[in-house]
A and B are shown apart, each in its own frame.
Chain A
Amino acid sequence: MGTEKIKAAYDNLQTEDVLKKAKELGLDNDILVHMYRTMIKIRLFEEKADQLYALGKVHGTMHLSAGQEAVAVGAGFVTRDDDYLLNHHRGHGHFIASGADINKMMAEFLGKETGYCHGRGGSMHIADITANNLGANGIVGGGIELAAGVGLAVQMRKTDQLVLVLFGDGAANEGIFHESLNMSAIWELPVIYLCENNHYGMSAEVARVSSKVPFKDRALAHGIPGYFIDGNDVLAVYEFMKNAAEYTRTDKGPVFIEVETYRYFGHSKSDRNLYRSREEIETWKKRDPILRFEKLLIDAKLIDNVKVKEIYQEMGILIEKAVTFAENSPEPEIKDVMEWVYA
């Protein structure tokens, strides 16, 4: 595998070649359409979350990942149900791609008892422990911190599960980044470090605050294979994830994949986008991962415009149902506020 960023790997290929490559990767037509559907689901979900917030229905804040759907779907379709996921605060997409129940997600945003965390966690802490989803983390680098330990447990138990830890360009500058990579490297732990480089921490542009980019070079410094790819190319993401999964499941150690992507919404709901220009956002929207994939699928005649509309409608309805479910759900009882501090 190469070590440079593979730009627009599939863009330059003819459609039929892309399809051929997809088949090589084990992706038949149905899966491809399902990937597309999932990306739309994520996009609509994030837009709906934004609306709910604008209507004042969500307490606190949210970190929306619209624009980064290809990463979520590309990686999420590789991992197995029994693999561990350590998510970050902008992780709704990853959660959905791993098969989460969006009803429970919406309910958690609204702080309801029926949410994934019974309303105790909110957007930043959604988890489904029994499904090996070890939670979104409000601490930047929090997942990285736990990842080596999870990988260690897998290794000690001698299974072929892998640990997928997601983080952003901001987390790559935390001290724990190096401690975790170091530890995973020396013990050859089954951890895939997936860095979503969307160019901004909160408002700080990557180049301004990072001494050595791309971050995959830092992984290389620790002796870990590192790759930098176009994160808005869902198939590219899938390909590299698949290879990394095979590598790491066979006890060869951790892998570092850096994906370049972009977020449309601000960092959080209080972000007024003062640090980037409208032009920049528009430029990135031209490389929108959903539109790119849509174009590919239409070219390959796997879907047509009617189907597109259908899928948008279908996903839209699912999301409306989720909102209804959440709004009709009960609040947690005050008397239970002291529950679950200790096991």
Chain B
Amino acid sequence: MPTPFIMPKMDMDQETVTIIEWLKKEGDKVEKGEPVIVIETDKITSEVEAPASGELAGILYKENEETPVTKVVAYILADGESEADLPKVAEKSEPKDEEMVNKDEGTADQLTTQKAATPVAERLASALHININQIPSSGQRVTKADVETYIKSLDGVQPRVSVAATPAARRVATEKGISLESLTGSGPRGRVQEVDVLEAASTQTPETRKPAGIPATSIPVVGMRKRIAERMTASYQAAPHIYLTVEGDMTEAENSRKRLNALADKQARPKVSVTAYLVKMVAWVLKRHPYLNASLIDNEIQLWDEVHIGIATALENGLIVPVIHDADTRSIDEINECLRNLTRQAYNGELSKEEIEGGTFTISNLGMYGVKSFTAIINPPQSAILAVGSLVRKPVVIDENDTIAVRPILTMTLAADHRIVDGVTAAEFLSDLVGVLETPDSVIFQKIN
């Protein structure tokens, strides 16, 4: 009779562990007491020992799988036993992942949700104008079934307002100019209470109160302005931003770009802009630093296989971020061409939905305004954004002999979501980025896939 290998429960309220590594594979011989699985719990990493000696067989849970405790994860075959002796595969009692991760996000209208929900549930709730916080979840997060059950319970009634809030909360929100949608309600069923509004109001900047008696032009916050306000607020509040600043000596990069542009002139092609150049470089570096090209969705970090870089573009009444798709596979000329088209379309208001969707990283360049450096707010659900300042010619030390030379210095500030990206990860990215900017040939002449 094969011995069941059961995942032990080590904490009182523990329900699952993550298998980091199987130290043995099926068919290997194990000894009783020998560490066979490396697991990670909320608290620490530890090892699970074999309950018996024999041959490891019938592994039910793979690495990186969330595994329920107190359940069978594998079997140990005794001498003479074979796989035919294994009991029929028991149903794995893991929380079913309802949907595959969907990369189709990044529209300007999406807000970071407060309540954990599957992407489909989110889309469904959003399409039906239901606040996801209002929906009771059957499990850890709100699923599509939960949304449907909730809708049934309302007899198909869509609430007229999107946020449940008490009259007192609404009154204070109106008085203090706070949008209820931006608040997390502490009341039952996610209802916003007066205290929630008061707390939000106390963290507001003084500029929100209109000083009396000063003439002004009133511009209502609607449309694009409103979306930007909401998105930026949500991003700022949801993602813990860390900021890292580097200075890059752009001498080589500028020379490289000049050479490219000389060739372009000869071939009557448009000149490569600084931004296009940066996009090429950043894309290359991102491929090697996947956490900077990632998103946090449903408690999972998705490391995107593709690199789609958005370029923050200022318009007359707002901001739009057209995306250069597959920036890592394109040549610098392609990138430049793409960027020129997108910019023109942006100014003409002709950008399509596809052209602003799907970004995995964003570059914001205010250098043309003489801004030396600045910090930007991450464009959700991306994990980082690069704020590029103006190229400043300044004296720097260029060798160990402390020789001073005047070089074009570019200051770049990376903002990263600390839920996804640690300081070191961000630093390594920046370091690489500076490296390729300072020795650009390695990238420029790289083979295009």
Query: Taking the complex as a whole, does A directly touch B, i.e. does some CB pair lie under 8 Å apart?
Result: no
Residues of chain B touching chain A, judged by Cβ–Cβ distance below 8 Å, are none
Interface residues of A (CB under 8 A from B): none
